[in-house]
Amino acid sequence: MPHRVFIRSTNWIGDAVMSVAALREIRRLLPDSRLLLIARPWVAGLFENQGLVDEVHPVDPGESQLQQVRSMIGKVRSCDQAILFQNAFEAALVAFLARIPDRAGYSTDGRRYLLTRRAKPRVKSLNRHQVFYYLDLLHQTGLSPKNYLSDVHFRPDISLRPTEQGVESARRLLAEYSIQPGRSLVLLNPGAYFGSAKRWMIDRYASLGDRLVQNRSAQVVIIGSEGERGIAERISAKMRSTAAIMTGATDLPTLMGLFSLSQLFVTNDSGPMHLAAALDTPQIALFGSTDEIATGPYSRKARIIHKHVECSPCLLRECPLDLRCFKAIEVDEVYEVALSVLRHA
């Protein structure tokens, strides 16, 4: 039997995208091994048909936590090695109870003694992008001889590609909303799961959308999760022009297809921001409470706008003051950057 490796993915899209470079390194380092990845269902589709792993197993959301643990143990029991990108205690417990002899991960969440190869987080203290967090795990645990943090020639590769089915699904969805091919397609992502301190103001998204429609004949589509539909509707109501609301209307493959078809994506710091970066979609990322150096879009086609006021980055969910970091980002500035991106798209 081939050497089998259990990889536990992170739980959120943004983190999962930032782990892609490390997955690509594991494939390079272990070319003859069979890589088995377990992920939450909303993340699992990210890794399918990408050539990164051999098997993708979604966690069953209908099972209790105990049932999920038992199910995961059954799937990975025959593995020879475990590499845990997820930092939770449960991930290490599954690898331990499955009796996988070689278990690598960060010594977080009280799981030190469940691991045989241990690493300590150091990327943040070195002011490096979160992409290197997962790569550094490989180096610190001896899985890779390369010190990714000090190798100036290494360029992490987080690139993903949409599936043909995803692109076709996106085309059908655009047609359903009367979005015409041949005109600039601009996607707006005004939500952010973490909290309102990561969200640029609704009236400014509306004003930006109007300018792009009126001055550039752009077709504006608002995307996001079903829970963010209220935000999208409030933006649409404030706009004089028409915007298509597709919040909650896209699964992961369709969203990836939409990104591949769009000329510009304007977004807050969020999971879709990282997904667009992986798909090489031109984007403008607006940062408020968070750190654009650590978690900004890892893409040469991304333009980041962040005003460093005295309290940023605070990393808070809700602003206790007046959201001055976002108030400092004016519509005029974002619009001018958008024009520049569209001219080169």
Cα separation of 61 and 190, whole Å?
27
CA angle 9, 260, 180 (to 5 degrees): 140
Q: What is the pLDDT along the chain (345 residues), one digit of tens a residue?
A: 799 999 999 999 999 999 999 999 999 999 999 999 999 999 999 999 999 999 999 999 999 999 999 999 999 999 999 999 999 999 999 999 999 999 999 999 899 999 999 999 999 888 899 999 999 999 999 999 999 999 999 999 999 999 999 999 999 999 999 998 888 999 999 998 777 888 999 999 999 999 999 999 999 999 999 999 999 999 999 999 999 999 999 999 999 999 999 999 999 999 999 999 999 999 999 999 889 989 999 999 999 999 988 888 887 888 888 889 999 999 999 999 999 999 987
pLDDT at residue 197, as a whole number: 82
CA angle 257, 250, 270 (to 5 degrees): 85
Report yes or no: 47 and 17 within 8 Å, Cβ to Cβ.
no
Which burial class, exposed, middle or buried, applies to 74 when counting CB atoms under 10 A from its CB (0-12, 13-18, 19+)?
exposed
Whole-structure pTM value: 0.94
pLDDT at residue 196, as a whole number: 83
3-state secondary structure the chain: CCCEEEEECCCCHHHHHHCHHHHHHHHHHCCCCEEEEEECHHHHCCCCCCCCCCEEEECCCCCCHHHHHHHHHHHHCCCCEEEECCCCHHHHHHHHHCCCCEEEEECCCCCHHHCCEEECCCCCCCCCCCHHHHHHHHHHCCCCCCCCCCCCCCCCCCCCCCCHHHHHHHHHHHHHCCCCCCCCEEEEECCCCCCHHHCCCHHHHHHHHHHHHHHHCCEEEECCCHHHHHHHHHHHHHCCCCCEECCCCCCHHHHHHHHHHCCEEEEECCHHHHHHHHCCCCEEEEECCCCHHHHCCCCCCEEEEECCCCCCCCCCCCCCCCCHHHHCCCHHHHHHHHHHHHHCC
Structural domains of the chain ordered from first start: 4-140 (3.40.50.2000), 164-343 (3.40.50.2000)
pLDDT at residue 315, as a whole number: 78
Token pair recorded at residue 109: 């969440």
